[in-house]
Chain A
Amino acid sequence: MFFLRLLTGVSSALAVVLITATAWAADLQTLVTNLTTGGFGDREKAISELVASGEARAAPILEALAAGQLYVRKADNVVVIGKADGNKLALSEAVSGKPAGSGTEAELDRVRVNNRLRGVIEAAVGSLTLMSPDARVRRDAADSLFKRPDPTALGALDAAIAAEKDARIKTAFQEARAAVVLTSDASKQDKLAALEVVRDKGNRDALSVLQAAINSQSDPEVKAAATAAAASVRQTLAGWEAAQNVWYGISLGSVLLLAAIGLAITFGTMGVINMAHGEMVMLGAYTTFVVQDIIRTSFPHLFDASLLIALPLAFLVAGVVGIAIERGIIRFLYGRPLDTLLATWGLSLVLQQAVRSIFGPSNREVGAPAFMSGAFQLGQLTITYGRLWIVVFSLLVFATLILVLRKTPLGLYMRAVTQNRPMASAMGIRTPRVDALTFGLGSGIAGLAGVALSQIDNVSPNLGQGYIIDSFMVVVFGGVGNLFGTLVGATALGIVNKFLEPYAGAVLGKILVLVFIILFIQRRPRGLFALKGRSVE
């Protein structure tokens, strides 16, 4: 008995669903049929009726209409969507979406549209997709409505706002509604409230909506409010632009820091001018390339870890080459800084040509692992993960280096040798070994920089050359022999560079920075944070 009752219950429920579905379909059927009859004016009316019905499934039909793919089959007057398939058209029923065989253009009547209708349809599709189950689609719909406000969508928007659960999308809907209200003939109060909503959105789209409102509104009070709101949005935008510049500056600064920090060790604490420093960076980048190449061919599943594998290898390669340079060339030239400069310049030419001979002169591609690609939005800032990781990485390297210098025996020896070589030697420190290790450390860090730079720069034999002058500038600007000076110098130069760029252009900005540093060195020949005391001379 119970079972029977259950059965009837279920079947009646099913019946209700079926009936409503048929009614809905019938409703859609008439609306769609209305689309195909009459002139352009009737068609526009039919479109707005379709929109008012608020049916999300009408969207593909309207899209097909805008694309000129909506047809009426001559044989049975069924409205179909035709997609090109060879010479024929693959047909599907517009209302139900079922496949309906194929046909040629001759058997069909195309439902005509003009440009005005296309505009109407675009806005209509925007409001129809407001109810889509996909959150992303709803959000896009709100955005497109905000950019092209359509007064007829007001009803659909109100319904969508009432139904929306996601707070962020709801805000987007409310902003879109405000934009729509501004184009409609709503009351003054509504418009003033809408202006506030648009003002709070505060991005470029909001500015253009406000601009349109200033041009179209007749009420002086609304006009004044719109002008004030536009000014406030401009201010917000300027603030975000400054923030964006600061971020770009920090990003550039972190790159400079990475390139310069190794130099700060070799030049800053040892007083050795290493013109081949940029080539150590290049070696690091090429190590990354080789590691990725091997991983790509032999262990593809390890690709995301390729940079992590490359880091220690790059440090080793550049470090060993650095030690070899120190033992082979530089140690004979201590006390002759200008000769060191020339010899290391020659070395940089040799290294460049060697890499060019082995890997070829063209750029090599180094891919980005998954965790470094993509971007996220912070307010109106777009921050790419790659840049963010480089900033983090440069700070990590910096902190590690400070720790090594302050807390390890090697750091202690290094500082001792820097401050007073004969005394350190007398205390039993093997100064030549410390020299070699210090130079190796500086070069190894340059190799680490190469791994990071391979992500944002072209990996070519000339990679290092572009950084050598900048790195020297950073070290000299920050103060020789002072790692914190290097940090401050790199960040400051990066930010100044990026703030100058919009006004002066990239090249002129760079020139201005160079001139500024040249003048700065005149003023403070020992840099921003000069060492004080006897070690200066």
Chain B
Amino acid sequence: MITRFLWQGMGPSLRVAVLFVLAIGIILPLLNQLMPASNALYVPAWVLQLIGKYLCFASLALAVDLVWGFCGILTLGHAAFFALGGYCMGMYLMRQIGSRGQYGNPLLPDFMVFLNYKELPWFWHGFDQFWFAAIMIVLVPSLLALALGWFAFRSRVTGVYLSIITQAMTFALMLAFFRNDMGLGGNNGMTDFKDILGFSVQSDATRATLCFASALVLAIFLVISAAVVGSRFGKALTAVRDAESRMRFLGYRVEGYKLFVFVLSAAMAGIAGALYVPQVGIINPSEFSPGNSIEAVLWVAVGGRGTLIGPVIGAFLVNWGKTYLTGALPEVWLFALGALFIAVTLFLPKGVVGLWSQIRSRGTTRKAKVPA
């Protein structure tokens, strides 16, 4: 019944999008597993890995869009939540290595042996259990978002100030995680993972499953976001975006709305990061770098902010372009990325998704109203 309610709450194009994402997540892994390698329809494992990565990025983009596109909070620190989720997963994966590390220590991961740790730091306890790690993946980013959001929204820090605060947050976290005595691997981060839930991370079957899980998670996020955005709560959220002071005068507790959506979005980013780490096989502090967060914002801007399909399309487009260009013309990539930022903000304020309506409305209205 709930499913049906959710299903009816979505627009037709979103339904197609959800089905399409699920189809990718089911068909590609199946083709990889069932087809012989000689068959034309066989999907090699590296494609699965790539698609899985894009799906995680799409989830992150969706999380950014939820706060930026629908609530007007331009966050420049969402990669921090993504990376925190990734680190929680990384800690679980490190504990799974057990005594198979280079130094063969059953309790301590390699980098701790290397740095002369005598015992496991307190915050590493529990991460040998998947259920604990799973809780932390959601909890750690959410709590950080809750703390930051509570402080920021309560004292009405808005607009660019909030953007700069979030950027400073991810910058501070990056500096912190680069330190060796954080007990989280320092600048090398964590890598050399072996098992996840007892299955080898390297095997094709695991990769196929992870790709499917990423698609499933993205589909669920789309459904949840649609439910949030389509509800009365979502209407109020959009109103906060467009006229915050007016909403406050009307008697709405604006802080509560913002805080809820910010925490929800941080949790989504954390889960996306957790799925990302086993697929790329490494997590290190550079994931916190401010540039990553801004790039995630660009995916949303390219796809179309304030729509739910936009971020997914944007994440796939930009990342496909990045994979292609960094391979073919590495010099050009940063030029292209920079130009994309400028072009999208100047010419495509509604993104690729809004392109059609932008062309259609050119004759009738001169300027499209854009959420700033």
Contact = CB atoms under 8 A, between A and B. Distances in A.
A346 B339 contact: yes
Interface in A486-537: 507-508, 510-511, 514-515, 517-519, 521-523, 525
6 contacts: A338-B163, A347-B341, A469-B290, A507-B176, A525-B155, A525-B157
B372 interface: yes
> Which 8 residue pairs across A and B have the least CB separation, nearest first?
A346-B341, A350-B338, A349-B338, A353-B334, A346-B338, A514-B172, A343-B345, A339-B345
A342 interface: yes
Given A336-B372, A346-B337, 11 more contacts: A333-B346, A336-B345, A336-B370, A339-B349, A340-B345, A342-B341, A345-B294, A352-B334, A510-B175, A522-B152, A525-B155
B340 interface: yes
B161 A521 contact: yes
Contacts of A521: 155, 157, 161, 165
Contact of A507 (B148, B179, B340, B370): B179
Contacts of A329: 342, 346
Contacts of A357: 331
Nearest to B74: A338
Interface string A343-386: 10111111111101100000000000000000000000000000
A221 B298 CA distance: 76
B220 interface: no
A341 interface: yes
B64 interface: no
Contacts of B341: 342-343, 345-347, 349
Interface residues of B, number: 44
Contact of A341 (B74, B148, B152, B344): B74
B157 A522 contact: yes
Contacts of A514: 168-169, 171-172
B345 A511 contact: no
B28 to A, nearest CB: 32
Contact of A469 (B167, B298, B344): B167
State the main secondary structure of chain A at its contact with B.
helix
Contacts of B339: 346, 350
Given A339-B349, A353-B338, A518 B372 contact: no
Contacts of B297: 342
B122 to A, nearest CB: 19
A128 to B, nearest CB: 50
B124 interface: no
A446 interface: no
B334 A350 contact: yes
B159 interface: yes
B340 A346 contact: yes
Contacts, number: 122
A473 interface: yes
Contacts of A332: 346
B120 interface: no
Contacts of B154: 522
A511 B172 contact: yes
Contacts of B157: 521-522, 525
B41 interface: no
B160 interface: yes
A476 interface: yes
Contact of A349 (B171, B175, B334, B370): B334
B117 interface: no
A50 interface: no
A346 B172 contact: no
Contacts of A522: 151-152, 154-155, 157
A518 B164 CA distance: 9
B156 interface: yes
A476 B74 contact: no
Contacts of A341: 74, 76, 160, 163
A536 to B, nearest CB: 12
A338 B294 contact: no
Given A521-B161, A522-B155, A343 B342 contact: yes
Contacts of B345: 333, 336, 339-340, 342-343, 346
A259 B175 CA distance: 21
B82 interface: no
Contacts of B5: none
A273 interface: yes
B104 to A, nearest CB: 32
B164 A472 contact: yes
B84 interface: no
B221 interface: no
B127 interface: no
Given A507-B178, A507-B179, A517-B168, A335 B340 contact: no
